[in-house]
Amino acid sequence: MQQLKNFVTEQYGRAFWKEIKSQSTDRTEFYLPLREYPDAELQAILSTLVAETGIQTETLLYEFGIYAADGLLTTYNVYIDDSWEAIDLVANVETYIHTALRRRSSAEFTPPKLESSRLDPETVEIVYRSQRELCPFAKGLLMGIAANYDTEFVITESQCMHEGADECVMLIQQQAASTAEPTDDLRDDQQPESSQESKIQMTSSHD
């Protein structure tokens, strides 16, 4: 939740965040890192953001995922092998990061459950399951990871929880390095699938 606060503050300013928070929750204390807060509180904040900005929830979560990647990579750097490429991190995030976090006795949050299958050196299939259904955030996070490694991902989603499936299934292919600069900007007309500034190209096989 602290990352969401930072994201909104950088985009719209501290006063705007305070207004969003006051409309969404009675919480007065600061949000702390590596803490889990009630899902209802997150949903309330997201709903208020959508109402106040006019940006679609999917786009908002996607752009937030892009933003959050840098901070998460820094926070969990101890679990990341220096020899890994971006696709290696994706393939190993459940085994080396999420599993380790769940084992920590002090952990106060629950990462989503992922299943990854390495299909070839440049391709990983991810199965995402979460009651929160924050798959747009996960896609944005993948975009941010690719940007941090100066590469690109092409994501093909064969099924999605937002379209009635029990889980999201995404095929992630690592592409050649890109010289394009990543962006954290939000635009009203921007959609995750068509973002011109996205370093992940999104395609879908469920039309």
- DSSP for 116-157 reads EEEEETTEEEEEEE-TT--HHHHHHHHHHHHHHTT-EEEEEE
**Six token digits for residue 73:** 């990579």
Question: Order of strands across the sheet with 168-175?
Answer: 113-120, 123-129, 168-175, 152-159, 200-204
The pLDDT of residue 191: 47
Round to whole Å and give the CA distance between 7 and 1.
10
Reply yes or no on whether the pLDDT at 159 is more than 60: yes
Reply yes or no on whether the pLDDT at 151 is more than 50: yes
Query: If one looks up domain 61-204 in CATH, what number appears?
Result: 3.90.1520.10
9-53 residue pLDDT tens: 999 999 999 999 999 998 877 887 767 778 889 899 999 999 999
pTM (2 d.p.): 0.77
135-145 residue pLDDT tens: 999 999 999 99
**Six token digits for residue 112:** 């989503």
CA 133 to chain centroid, in Å, comes to 11
**Mean of pLDDT over the chain:** 81
23: Cβ–Cβ under 8 A, 6 or more apart, which residues?
48
160-198 residue pLDDT tens: 999 999 999 999 999 865 444 544 444 444 445 433 333
- For the chain, the structural domain boundaries read 1-54, 61-204
